[in-house]
Amino acid sequence: MREETGRNEVKPSMKIDIRGLVCPYTFVKAKLAVEEMEVGQVLEIVLDYPGAAANIPRSMEEHGQKVLKVDRTGENQWVIFIRKEKD
């Protein structure tokens, strides 16, 4: 069993900054990054497209990945943490 990761335990092994991108390229970029990672590793995504703040977590769950956290860090800025669950 994996423990649910708390705020201080999220250790991303990769970070992408996709500010400026809109859907669907936000998810496409995030998905390509996840493909490069090993199962269990965490991806940190910084974005500023409001639609993607909801779409990326939903699509990632649909693809079988785990959404650990969605933080709103500014009026139009979010940071999302995704843990890779499957290849």
Partner 1 sequence: MEFTDLQIQRYSRHIILPEVGGKGQKKLLGARVLMVGAGGLGCPAGYYLSAAGVGTIGIVDDDLVEISNLQRQIAHSTGTIGMPKAESAKKTFEALNPDVKVIAMKGRLTKDNIMDIMKDYDIVIDGSDNFPTRYLVNDACVLARKPLVSGAILRFEGQVTTIVPHEGHCYRCLFEAPPPPGLVPSCQEAGVLGVLPGVIGALEATETLKLILGKGEPLKNTLLIYNALAVSFRKVKVPRNPDCPVCGQNPTITELADYDAGYCQR
Please give the positions annotated as active site: 23
Could you tell me the strand order of the sheet in which 14-17 lies? Answer: 14-17, 42-47, 77-83, 66-74
Q: Which is nearer to partner 1, 4 or 87 (CB)?
A: 87
d(CA 53, CA 68): 13
To the nearest whole angstrom, how small is the minimum distance from the Cβ of residue 23 to partner 1?
A: 10
CA dihedral 11, 13, 17, 23 (to 10 degrees): -100
Site mask for partner 1 (CB under 8 A), range 31-70, x = bound: xx--x-----------------------x---xx------
Q: Which residues bind partner 1 (CB under 8 A)?
A: 24-25, 27-29, 31-32, 35, 59, 63-64
